[in-house]
Amino acid sequence: GAGVSQSPSNKVTEKGKDVELRCDPISGHTALYWYRQSLGQGLEFLIYFQGNSAPDKSGLPSDRFSAERTGGSVSTLTIQRTQQEDSAVYLCAVGGSGNTIYFGEGSWLTVV
Partner 1 sequence: QKEVEQNSGPLSVPEGAIASLNCTYSDRVSQSFFWYRQYSGKSPELIMSIYSNGDKEDGRFTAQLNKASQYVSLLIRDSQPSDSATYLCAVDDNDYKLSFGAGTTVTVRA
**Contact residues for partner 1 (CB under 8 A)?**
1, 31, 33, 41-45, 48, 50, 56, 59, 89, 91, 95, 98-106
* Smallest separation, CB 44 to partner 1 (Å): 8
* Smallest separation, CB 60 to partner 1 (Å): 13
Q: With beta carbons less than 8 A apart as the criterion, state whether 4 and 26 touch.
A: yes
User: Is the backbone of residue 81 left (phi > 0), alpha (psi -120 to 50) or beta?
Assistant: left
CA–CA separation, 101 and 4 (whole Å): 11
The DSSP letter of residue 70 is S
Nearer to partner 1, 14 or 40 (CB): 40
* Smallest separation, CB 81 to partner 1 (Å): 25
